[in-house]
Amino acid sequence: MRLLAAFLLVLTLGVAAAPSLAGPPEVPKAKGEKCLAEPADMRRNHMSMLLHRRDATMHQGVRASANGLKACLDCHAVSNAEGQPVGIDNDKHFCRVCHDYAAVQVDCFDCHNSRPEAKKASSEPVADVMPPEATESQPAVQPEGAK
Amino acid sequence: MSENSLSPTRRGLLKAAAGSAALLAPGVFLLAAPAPSKARPDDTATDSSVRWGLLIDTNRCDQECTACVEACKEEMGLIGKGRPATDAQYIRKVELAEPRTGFTRSLPMMCQHCSNPPCADVCPTGASFKRADGIVLVDRHICIGCRYCMMACPYKARSFAHEKLEDQAANNPRGKGCVEACTLCAHRVDAGIVPACVEACHAKGRGAMLFGDLQNPEHAITQVVAQYPTSQIRADLKTDPGVRYHGI
C-alpha cells in the first residue's frame, strides 16, 4: 500500500513537472534586425542553407558573408553572466536550445568554433595581394648571393 | 652566431646592407611594380585564370628566424599541446646541409600546392582537392582521417588532428580525426591579402617570401621566376609545385 502511494506521488510530481519539459524551447533573442528568411523557413531550412554555402566556400572560394555560420554566430550568440558568449558546451547556446529539444545532434562545432570571433583591430593591409615592401625588398633574389 | 662567422646568410645580409644601390640596379623588374590585384568579389568562384604561387629566396631566409612559423600558428589557431610529434604544423623550418662542405641553408617548408597533387590522387573521398586557382585544400567535412594523403605527400606537409580541439580560429575550423595542412591562407587570398607567413616574413624577417599569381605577367613573382633560376623541390616527381625556391 505504501509502495502504491509512493508510486502515485512520483507520478503526480512527474505530471506536475511535465509542462516545463514538454513546452517549446525559449529561443534566445538575436542581435540583428532581420534574419535571412522568415523564422518558419529558417527553422526548416537553415541546414540546407549552411550545407550549400559550405561547399561553395570550401571548393570555390565563394565567401559572400551574409549567410555563413560565422554570421549566424555574430547575431545569435548568447552571453553568460560575465557578458562572454557561451560555447556549445553550455545548454543556453542558441543552437543547443532547439537541438536539445528536437534531439538532433549538431556536429558543426566538432570543428567550427561555437563562439563568435572576437573582433580584431584591423591593421592588416587590405586589397593588395602584393604589399609594397614585397617589391622593394625583392632584390633578395640575386644570383650572386647564391655563390 | 659569433661575430666572425660569416655564414652565407650573414654574408648575404652584409652584402645587401653594403650595396643596396648596387643590388637595385640589376633588379630592373622592380621598376615595373605589379599593379595591386583587386580582391575577387566575394560572391564569385575562383577560376583557373590565376595560379597562386610562392617564391622563397633561401639566400635571405635567416636560420634563426621563425617569423613565418609563428605567424602561421597565430593565424590558423594552431595551439600546440607540447607534443612535437603530433602537434599540427602547417609550415616548418628545414635545415639543409652539404655534408662534404658543411654548408647549411635554412628554408620554410609547407604544402607545395602542386598542380598534380599526389594527396588528391590517393584520397578515397575527394576531401583532398585542388581549387581552380591552384590552392590544394582538405575539405574536412568529407575527410575520414585515413591519412593516405599524408603518406602520399612527398613534402611531408600534412598534419593530423589527434586530439579534441577547442577555440579554433574562425577562419580555420579544424577538429579531431581530420588531416590538415597549409591552405596558402585561402581565406586571406580570397580577401586580397597575402598569406600570413609572407606578411610576417616582410614585417619581422628579411623578406624572403614573395607571393603572387604565377600566370600574371604583372606580378613580381612571375617576372622574377622568368629572370632568375628557381627550382621546385623534387621536380622529378612531376608534381609541379606552386612553391618555388631560389638559392638551393
Output the domain CATH number for residue B227: 3.30.70.20
Lowest mean pLDDT among A2-6, A98-102, B153-157, B206-210: A2-6
A118's grid cell: 572576437
Q: List the domain range (segments joined by +) for residue B173.
A: 48-246
d(CA B7, CA B25): 25
Confidence of residue B177 (pLDDT cuts 50, 70, 90): very high
In a domain, B164, yes or no: yes
In a domain, B229, yes or no: yes
In a domain, B203, yes or no: yes
In a domain, B65, yes or no: yes
Contacts of B191 in chain A (CB under 8 A): 63, 126
- SS3 call for B154: coil
d(CA A38, CA A43): 9
- Residue A18, pLDDT score: 45
Contact between residue B216 and residue A126 where contact means Cβ atoms under 8 Å apart: no
- SS3 call for B68: helix
Across A54-58, A67-71, B45-49, B154-158, which has the greatest mean pLDDT? B154-158
Q: What is the pLDDT of residues A25-36, one digit of tens each?
A: 888 888 888 888
- Residue A118, pLDDT score: 78
In a domain, B204, yes or no: yes
In a domain, B32, yes or no: no
User: Would you tell me how many other CB atoms lie within 10 Å of the CB of residue B184?
Assistant: 28
In a domain, B81, yes or no: yes
ipTM of the complex: 0.79
Contacts of B31 in chain A (CB under 8 A): none
Q: What is the pLDDT of residues B198-236, one digit of tens each?
A: 999 999 999 999 999 999 998 999 999 999 999 999 999
Strands B52-57 and B209-213 come out as antiparallel
Q: What is the pLDDT of residues B88-120, one digit of tens each?
A: 999 999 999 999 999 999 999 999 999 999 999
Contacts of A129 in chain B (CB under 8 A): 36-37, 39, 189, 192-194, 211-213, 219
- Name the domain count of chain B: 1
Q: Which of B24, B165, B229 sits opposite A143 (nearest CB)?
A: B229
Q: What is the pLDDT of residues B2-52, one digit of tens each?
A: 434 334 344 443 333 333 332 333 332 332 233 345 678 888 899 999 999
- The pTM for the full model equals 0.78
Q: Which of A62, A110, A141 sits opposite B43 (nearest CB)?
A: A62
Residues paired with residue B95 on neighbouring β-strands, in sequence order:
B106
Query: Residue A125 burial (CB < 10 Å; 0-12/13-18/19+)?
Result: middle
